[in-house]
Structure 1
Amino acid sequence: MFLARLDTRSRISALRLLLAQKCKVGRVTSSPCAVGCTCSPGSIMAVTGDYDHLVKLLLLGDSAVGKSSLLMRFCESKFDANFVLTIGVDFKWKQVERDSRKLKIQVWDTAGQERFRTITPAYYRAAMGVVICYDITDKASFEHIDYWLQQLEQHGDEGVQRVLVGNKSDLNENRKVTREEGEKLAAQYSMKFFETSAKTGQEVEEAFLSIADEVVKQRYSDVQPNTFQVKKPNQKKKQNCQC
């Protein structure tokens, strides 16, 4: 509780000390890391190897567009109306099966505030796919998509998969960005487009699985999923067999 009495800089420093003791490479749980975590996006490994492919996704977009809520909805099928500001970077895991392939989907959630933007370049480089988000009730967040695409082009891997998501579709009465505007921008940058609601779950899983499928197609198309064939023991032919 003492963190509540500290200013932002002191609170971040305290969080770093606490989290540095908890975050160990190779010891990943369902709990998210945050700023100060010693784990790098390129070195984190899963607890178990019971999957065929690892898919690393990154959430980008302005603060308060609902990135953390999308992450929670996709990975935990939950929604929390109490907004909690992301400090630095968080992540969660989800394991799914797609076309007989077991995927371990690692989703990184980045803070949209300007003061945290120096933290994220390493996460751009490690991402295989990027979910770029805006709030359909906030025109400015839509207009800033160009900025996030520029940052991705500058820091990200060449050919990284991208998808555009207009979040908070449940607030249609407060809409400031039309669906047609979102579709037009997505087409301009050759991205798939989804309108989602982290609150209701609308199109959330479809958006994440769509880009996960594209990552697998791009990076693992020549890799066969793990298959185990149990050989039946040879049966001895009976003597005097008339076969």
Structure 2
Amino acid sequence: MASGGGGYGDASQKVDYVFKVVLIGDSAVGKSQILSRYARNEFNLDSKATIGVEFQTRTMIIHHKSVKAQIWDTAGQERYRAVTSAYYRGAVGAMLVYDITKRQTFDHIPRWLEELRAHADKNIVIILIGNKTDLEDQRAVPTEDAKEFAEKEGLFFLETSALESTNVEEAFLTVLTEIFNIVNKKNLVADEDQANVNPGSLAGKKIVIPGPAQVIPEKNRMCCRS
């Protein structure tokens, strides 16, 4: 488990790792609100559609190391698809977001996943996120449908509410901790080879992860039916 969480005003903190994470999914599923809640602990009821790409950073402590998450919010509109595809490069984590009240946004997830896998590193850590659980009475996507899809595709899965700040922190922590663990497993071997060449060369760099893809935790604490 990770130890502690990062604050919101930690620009002066020493950074051990920088991990690029992308938010993808249809327009209006709440990607920008999830990012805003995580990076600044804010929620804006008057949020406008994202044009192109925006990003925020937040630094967290994971296993006593300082990890800066560089989170890119990609516009969900079709006309920006060609522009945002370039931003998948270098990403080591991805949050695939749909709106639990709009079935179409979930039905489009396989297409987003296909695009992600076409443009990103093949070992990218991916979490499927069903957002807007505060609108449970309007639910159009059963939790079981999403959980089944996530298990089939080897994704983590959580349902969130950016409005109520439900599971947003846990979703990012899940992705960042998994990336951290993969990187450090590889570093046990890589550091021995590189120690004599350039010690500490990984610190503060974007990491592209080789190695196995993530698996669903056996005890599915990732599910968040309220």
TM-score exceeds 0.5: yes
Between the aligned partners of 2:107 and 2:75, the Cα distance in structure 1 is: 18
Paired residue type of 2:23: L
- What do residues 117-149 of structure 1 show as CA deviations (whole Å, max 9, x unaligned)? 111122111111000000000000000000001
Q: Which residue of 1 aligns with 2:62?
A: 98
Match of 2:206 in 1: none
- For structure 1, the 5+ residue unaligned runs are 1-29, 31-46, 227-243
Q: How many residues align?
A: 181
Deviation at 1:178, TM superposition (A): 0.7
Aligned pair partner of 1:110 in 70, 74, 78: 74
Aligned position for 1:196: 160
Instruction: Give CA-to-partner distance per residue, 1:47-85, whole Å, 9 cap, x none.
Output: 767111111100000000000000000011111111311
Identify the residue that residue 164 of structure 1 maps to in structure 2.
128
Partner residue in 2 for 1:134: 98
Q: What is the CA-CA distance between 1:161 and the residue it aligns to?
A: 0.8
Partner in structure 2 of residue 24 of structure 1: none
Question: Is 1:181 matched up with 2:133?
Answer: no
Question: 1:214 aligned to 2:160?
Answer: no
d(CA) in 1 for partners of 2:138, 2:16: 42
* Residue aligning to 1:150: 114
Higher relative contact order (CA closer than 8 Å, sequence separation 6+): 2
1:10-29 deviations in Å (ceiling 9; x for gaps): xxxxxxxxxxxxxxxxxxxx
Q: Any idea what SS the aligned residue of 1:220 has?
A: helix
Distance in structure 2 (CA, Å) of the matches to 1:118 and 1:49: 35
The answer to whether structure 1 residue 79 and structure 2 residue 47 are counterparts is no
TM-score by length of 2: 0.76
TM superposition outliers: structure 1 runs of 4+ over 3 Å: none
Q: 1:96 to 1:49 in 2, by over 3 A?
A: closer
Deviation per CA, 1:159-179, whole angstroms, max 9, x where unpaired?
111000000000000000011
The 3-state SS of whatever aligns with 1:112 is coil
Taking only the aligned residue pairs, the percentage that are identical comes to 39
Task: Give the partner amino acid of 1:155.
Answer: H
Gaps of 5+ in 2: 1-7, 192-199, 201-226
CA distances 1:102-127 after superposition (whole Å, capped 9, x unpaired) = 11111000000000011112211111
CA distance in structure 2 between the partners assigned to 1:60 and 1:70 by the alignment: 11
Q: Please, what is the CA RMSD of the aligned residues?
A: 1.9
Q: Aligned with 1:219: secondary structure? A: helix
Aligned-pair distance for 1:98? 1.3
Q: Give me the TM-score of the superposition, normalised by structure 1.
A: 0.71
Q: Give distance in 2, aligned partners of 1:93 and 1:201.
A: 18
Secondary structure at the residue paired with 1:181? helix
Distance (whole Å) between structure 2 residues aligned to residue 95 and residue 49 of structure 1: 8
2:27 aligned residue: 63
Counterpart code for 2:33: S
